[in-house]
Amino acid sequence: MIRFLHTADLHLDSPFKGITDMPISRLTELRESTFAAYENLIQYAEKSVPDFVLIAGDIYDGEDRSLRAQMRFVKGLERLQQAGIPVFMSYGNHDHLGGKWTRFQLPGNVTVFGPEVETAELTVRGQRVRIHGFSYKERHIKEAMIGHYPNSARDSGIVDIGMLHGSIAGEESHAVYAPFTREALLEKGYHYWALGHIHKRQVLHNEPPIVYPGNLQGRHRNERGVKGFYEVELEGNEASLKFVPTSVLVFDEIEIDCTEMSHANEWLTACQNAATEVMERTGACILSVRNIKMSPEASHLFSGSSNEEWLEVLRESADRGIWFSGLQFEENKKSALLPDSPLVRSVKEQIDSWDDEDWKQALQDVYQHARSGPYLSALTAEMKKELSDEAGKLISNELST
């Protein structure tokens, strides 16, 4: 039996650029979160002493690899060295070999795959293990690198593990790098495929396992839920996987049913209850609130104050450990929500008060245009009404996105 840890997409020192309105203490905690998650991985390894650790690319968030991130990463690797744990790793599209960075020397327990597919070998209690992988030599590897992986040596009793940072060919939701198909991976006859690149944890195939462990720490509201790595045991052709959580802050979304909402405090209580439930399940969290099933009454309630004000009171009433990042209103109710808002109302009132001279002024660019002018008919009351409505819609759409 061999036992190893499979992680990928550490994205150490992610800048969390999109999040700007947090108080500084929380922002500091957030900026430390990728390191804290890595620390959880290292501690788990020190405690459980696996036979080896696999890191399948995107260790760093940026191709310039901040010094701080490198120092912290190397310190973790040194602790694994002290615990006698070998590490096999590759670089991905985010931390490709072509980037410009100040190099740290890695400790002797670490094997880094080069730009071509290479094979590393080790023996675990008499069992020969081969690990195959490569690092990105530049950011965009469009080539199907899978063609360069050797076939397994199953017949000779060797365990083969493939490490690959890339995505399934034709998968439109992500930039496709080093594309592969499930079939192409299975054809190699390996015992395990340790993938990286896709941040959502998923097992693409069970026997043998083809696995994305996801990232160690979510970085924005589209990287939801608890994040971590897999601990894998291989025994003959049997594999067992255990997910080990590492994230210290969980991004998630709560849905609030607004059917019955007629007062602000009802909504605040509903948000707090839903948020507490998430926190009890996952620990500290950053939540976006999605308001669904907006009744006319609820629309009326929300139109009385701006989104910023709602968010402000929500944050003020939040428990420790919960941060509300933003509000959304169910798509089809967006326009029903805002035409009534004070801003839209005042703009429409303004437009409605225009006399012919004001209209002429507002539209002079089109009416006096040498090409378009001659083709325009005189402005009717109906057209004015239409323009005023369009202006209202434009404003409410801009405000609600």
Give the footprint of Mn ion on this chain (CB under 5 A).
Answer: 9, 58
Q: Which two tokens stand for residue 285?
A: 């969290």
CB of 93 to Mn ion, least distance (A): 7
CB of 350 to Mn ion, least distance (A): 49
H-helix or E-strand spanning residue 287: strand 285-292
Residue 309 Ramachandran class (φ > 0 left, ψ -120 to 50 alpha, else beta): alpha
Which CB atom, from 200 or from 393, has the smaller least distance to Mn ion?
Answer: 200
Which CB atom, from 17 or from 47, has the smaller least distance to Mn ion?
Answer: 17
Which CB atom, from 162 or from 166, has the smaller least distance to Mn ion?
Answer: 166
- The CA-based dihedral angle spanning residues 17, 248, 107, 211, taken in that order and rounded to the nearest 10 degrees: -90
> DSSP readout, 235-278?
ETTEEEEEEEE--SSEEEEEEEE-TT--SHHHHHHHHHHHHHHH
CB of 153 to Mn ion, least distance (A): 30
Which CB atom, from 51 or from 58, has the smaller least distance to Mn ion?
Answer: 58
CB of 62 to Mn ion, least distance (A): 11
CB of 92 to Mn ion, least distance (A): 6
Q: Which residue has the tokens 């402000």?
A: 312
Q: Which two tokens stand for residue 370?
A: 């040498």
Reduced to 3 states (helix: H, G, I; strand: E, B; else coil), residue 4 is strand
Rg (CA), the chain: 28
Q: Which two tokens stand for residue 61?
A: 């968030």
Which CB atom, from 9 or from 13, has the smaller least distance to Mn ion?
Answer: 9
Number of other residues whose CB lies within 10 A of the CB of residue 203: 13
CB of 94 to Mn ion, least distance (A): 5
Query: Distances from the Cα of 155 to the Cαs of 150, 190, 322, in angstroms?
Result: 14, 11, 54
Pairing mode, strands 52-56 and 2-7: parallel
Which CB atom, from 13 or from 58, has the smaller least distance to Mn ion?
Answer: 58
Query: What residue is closest to Mn ion based on CB?
Result: 58
Q: Phi first, then psi: what are they for 16, rounded to 5°?
A: 50, 50
C-beta of residue 314 within 8 angstroms of C-beta of residue 268: yes
CB of 247 to Mn ion, least distance (A): 15
Most distant CA atoms of the chain, gap in Å: 93
CB of 58 to Mn ion, least distance (A): 3
Q: Which two tokens stand for residue 194?
A: 């340790």
Number of other residues whose CB lies within 10 A of the CB of residue 396: 21
CB of 168 to Mn ion, least distance (A): 15
CB of 181 to Mn ion, least distance (A): 20
Which CB atom, from 9 or from 51, has the smaller least distance to Mn ion?
Answer: 9
Which CB atom, from 56 or from 294, has the smaller least distance to Mn ion?
Answer: 56
Q: Phi first, then psi: what are they for 313, rounded to 5°?
A: -70, -35
- Distance (Å, rounded) from C-alpha 319 to C-alpha 201? 29
End-to-end CA distance of the chain: 53
Which CB atom, from 148 or from 174, has the smaller least distance to Mn ion?
Answer: 174
- The CA-based dihedral angle spanning residues 204, 145, 176, 241, taken in that order and rounded to the nearest 10 degrees: 20
